[in-house]
Amino acid sequence: MSSSTKRPRYVCTFTDTLKQRFPIMKDGREPTEVFCSICNNHFSIKFKGGADIEKHILTEKHKKNSLTVSSNTKIDSLFQPQSSGLTDQISAAEATLAFHTVKHHQSFKSMDCTSQLVKAIFADSNTAKSISCARTKTEAIVTGVISPWVIEQTKIEDIEKENNSVLDIKRILESTHEILVARANANFMPLKVRELLAKCTAENQEVFKHDLKNMYKTCVEYLIKWMTPLDDFKVFNWLMLKKGQMIDFDQIALSIHYLNGKGIHIDDVKLFDEIASLNSFLTKQEEAFFDVMLHALWANIFKTIGISRLPEILRICQYIFAITAQNANVERVFSIMGAQWSKERNRLNVSAIRALLLVQYNLKSLTCEAFYKSIIKEKNLLKKVSSNIKYDKTN
């Protein structure tokens, strides 16, 4: 027996749902085949099911044959499409089942059973009877619909959810370094320590003072090691806004040069106009407006002024706030990946793993019920679920 067996490919058949959608099609010579009563010929729907039927209907041959059936009958009358409301419910249900599969670390293969089980349990439901969401379609919904939607829904304040941007960390380290240097230069020690030290012998006092200097020196050197990698980001210090502080375009010029070196083009002419508008806005704000975390401050600015009015500044913020200030999120991603890409699920491709991680990480606080209530309102997304766009790997 071969050590590696290929997984059998999912085969589409002419289901009752397809018969209702395409009444002009009849049963073929085998379950994976249909007979077109207009063209009087058989063709296979083995690989794409309804998509193969739609492809046939759009052929020139079928269109010409349809015209000969009745010159007074429009081709649209040969279809019996489901109502838009029911179609949306079916699409939302299929998308939610796909989300449920990812949310609870189930395999795509499990949907071969789940989709049929739902039909059997809820046999009196038109929505349940119409659900057709086995492993192939489930994976396509996750990779081609839900994960792109997750990326679109990601907001600037959600990019780094630990409430610490790299600039916040830089500012904290610099402030701590400044305090330690001042204490080291003054040989600072609290009054209580001075009182205790006065009770020691002169020799012990000298030893303690020597150790105190070494402690300050070690702390400062340690902080410098942490601060050195952050020196590159000093060109973005102007993002750390304060009450009464105006943004100087000369400072931003350094940021533009830095980003150009990273392949990110910033239109300096547009940026100058945006800075002028931003400065005018900032002068009208109270102290409380600035008394928040840096990423929250900029998120408030974009919400108030509008992203469309600050596109160049937004690109700069998207770059700097996407840089993680610590590795906790990276470790979390590896943990999620380990749970998804297990020994039992070692045939997942890279695009599927990427989609699983995007959904698991960014929607970890969203319940399946909440997902359904959200997705049922997204009409464009529901159209993608029911169409063949989700199978397009180039999207």
Arithmetic mean of pLDDT, 58-66: 83
Residue 86: the pLDDT is 80
Q: How far apart are CA 193 and CA 185, in angstroms?
A: 17
Query: What are the backbone angles phi and psi of residue 364, rounded to the nearest 5°?
Result: -65, -25
Identify any residues that bridge with 266 across adjacent strands, giving them in sequence order: none
The model's confidence at residue 216, banded by pLDDT at 50, 70 and 90, is: very high
Q: At residue 329, does pLDDT exceed 90? A: no
pLDDT in tens, 116-167: 898 889 988 888 888 888 888 898 899 889 988 887 765 433 444 456 788 8
Element (H, E) at 25: strand 25-27
Element (H, E) at 35: strand 33-36
Query: What are the backbone angles phi and psi of residue 122, rounded to the nearest 5°?
Result: -110, 55
Q: Cα–chain-centroid distance for residue 209? A: 54
The model's confidence at residue 5, banded by pLDDT at 50, 70 and 90, is: low
Contact present, 28 and 14 (Cβ < 8 Å): yes
Contact present, 309 and 144 (Cβ < 8 Å): no
Q: At residue 233, does pLDDT exceed 70? A: yes
pLDDT in tens, 263-306: 999 999 999 999 999 999 999 999 889 988 888 899 899 999 99
Q: In the chain, count of helices (H) and strands (E)? A: 20, 3
Q: At residue 59, does pLDDT exceed 50? A: yes
In the chain, the amino acid numbered 102 is: V
In a 13 Å sphere around the CA of 283, the CA atoms on its Cβ side amount to 8
Residue 345 contacts by C-beta under 8 Å, 6 or more apart in sequence? 107
> In this structure, what token pair is assigned to residue 115?
């989709």
Q: Strand, coil or helix: what is 41?
A: strand
What's the whole-model pTM score?
0.47
Residue 155: the pLDDT is 44
DSSP 8-state code for residue 391: G
Arithmetic mean of pLDDT, 183-197: 91
Q: What is the mean pLDDT of the chain?
A: 83
